[in-house]
Amino acid sequence: MSHNRVVTLLQKLRFDNRFTGSLPSDDVGGSVPRQVNGACFSRVAPANVANPALVSHSSEVAELLGISPEAVYDQSFADVMSGNRLLEGMDSHAMCYGGHQFGNWAGQLGDGRAIALGEVLDVNGDHQMLQLKGAGPTPYSRSADGLAVLRSSVREFLCSEAMHHLGVPTTRALSLVTTGDKVVRDMLYNGNPQPEPGAIVCRVAPSFVRFGNFEIFASRGDHETLRTLADFVVESEFPHLNSPNADKYVALLREVCERTAEMVVHWLRIGFVHGVMNTDNMSILGLTIDYGPYGWLDNYDPHWTPNTTDAQQRRYRFGNQPSVAHWNLLQLANALYPLVGEVEPLEEALEHYSQHFEKSWSTMMAAKLGLPSLADPRDSELAESVLTLLQSVETDMTIFWRELANVDCSGSSELLERGSPLLRAVYNVNAMTVEQSKAFHDFADGWAIRQRDLNVPIGERTTLMNQTNPKYVLRNYMAQLAIDEAEQGDFGLIAELLELVRSPYADQPDKERFYSLRPEWARTRVGCSQLSCSS
Ligand code: AMP
Ligand code: MG
């Protein structure tokens, strides 16, 4: 296809910019760092980059947006997805928001290194905002450069697609391009800045509005802009909640509580740790957003966090995510209060979070165990005991759950054999005490007894479990290997991992090596077990 035809093709993307078209904008231009008042966003153009080159793209997202496969491989696609070329209809801008970081109010933050290009109507007629992460400075960049490095861009690109295919609500990623520019980062914050390859991910979501977008106006007492934003969000994203009175803000909070609970339950199901659950990283749509120092549990340890910045307090550790989400929702409730004027309805909506979380968690755990529900006390006991067992010795979460479906449920198996498939998940089987190994067999036996009682056909059970317990997740070390190669200019593993994570629940016989315990070298390596916010 000729270059011009591709440009024409991309020009056919239909932009309908509701956000910038409906909300108040900052009337100062340019990217000089500043406090922005009374405005939801600032218009700003992406910076020019030296040599944009496409590394990878998600064909499903391209298809959703109506971008043909040929168009993707033309240079003009990389030009657009690096910000070097703006298409007609685009309205590039950065959003104004604030946030609570690690429990403290941080004031104005905003899109410091994300520049949205505008909203495209996708093939279903729905709005999808395109946003370039790492496209240069904005009024919200404060003292930073607005850029992103290849390693963090690879992590965001692969992980957000992995999450989507795992069935977790998330922002998507259309493309990953390298810029040809160097970006200096002190990766470990230890006084050792190094030039690294720059990159840009084009993220896609119906909306990138965060809890912090509401908090900033509430904190400034700017109730007018707060109301304008809340009305816009309800109208455009939650039209079923629209009403002429303040009920809609309460209904909004209630639904955000529900969606956030669902999202966190998914994280617990698959072993995902977000790492930086600040309120500026909480999506109003209940999407997983802002992939920074996130990580996946290899061994099941609810106290684990990958984020070195949080190593002391461990506020954002795996097992704390449900209560942190609740705290964040409380901040959203506070921000909406001026529009409601009454505490009780907001408190009631907030309570809905815990209720919905419990219900959703219990449904999820039952599915992981291949049970219809946890209503029977014997089944809720199984759910409790499995979490204790997983912590009794170093046990790989993904492999344990996946192997549970292979435990023999018939009455004939020897008690000391029953849990054998589960032992595949134990990191050091040889170091297990007799009691520890007996605990695995006892659990497996108890589980098999319940399965026999319930008499669920094996096919049905296995299908349910295998659709709930993924076989492949984007383990920290896997992303790191892809990064190591990418930094040498080899993007083969990125392509292979993208392929892998597209079908996380299917057996992929040629990819069996990714269904194994974390290798020993990855236990302590930076990028695998510890990540800083530097990106
Ligand atoms: P994060 O912890 O990545 O969610 O970022 C917190 C805030 O810092 C957000 O307002 C970001 O836009 C901003 N930020 C992070 N990295 C950069 C950067 N390299 N340049 C400008 N702003 C940044
Ligand atoms: Mg953020």
- Which of the residues 74, 111, 280, 445 is marked catalytic? 280
Give ion ligand 2 contacts, CB < 5 A: 281, 290
Tokens at residue 524, please? 């302590």
What Cα–Cα distance (Å) separates residue 168 from each residue in 80, 209, 298, 299, 311? 28, 18, 19, 21, 26
Instruction: Say how many Å lie between the CA of residue 318 and the centre of ligand 1.
Output: 23
**Amino acid, res. 62:** A
Q: How far apart, in whole angstroms, are the C-alpha atoms of residue 292 and residue 501?
A: 19
113 lines ligand 1 (CB under 6 A): yes
112 close to ligand 1 (CB < 6 Angstrom): yes
Residue 292 Cβ inside 6 Å of ligand 1? The answer reads yes
Known catalytic residue at 280? yes
pLDDT for the residue numbered 414: 77
Ligand 1 atom having least distance to the Cα of 97: 10
- Please tell me the distance from the alpha carbon of residue 71 to that of residue 331, in angstroms, as a whole number: 43
Write out residues in the chain with pLDDT < 70, as ranges: 1-3, 5-6
Residue of the nearest CA to atom 7 in ligand 1? Answer: 109
* Integer angstrom CA distances of residue 31 from 23, 136, 141, 308: 19, 9, 8, 30
Cβ(33) to ligand 1 under 6 A? no
Q: What is the mean pLDDT of the chain?
A: 96
Considering only CA atoms, which residue is closest to atom 19 of ligand 1? 146
175 pairs with which residues across the strands? Answer: 57, 202
pLDDT of residue 413: 74
Q: What is the value of pTM for the model shown?
A: 0.98
234: Cβ below 6 Å to ligand 1?
no
How many Å apart are CA 445 and CA 434, to the nearest integer? Answer: 16
- Å from CA of 280 to ligand 2 middle: 6
The pLDDT value recorded for residue 1 is 56
Measure 242 CA to ligand 1 centroid, in angstroms.
Answer: 33
Q: Which helix (H) or strand (E) is 107 found in, with range?
A: strand 104-108
Calpha distance 217→97 (Å, rounded): 8
Residue 100 Cα to ligand 2 midpoint, Å, equals 11
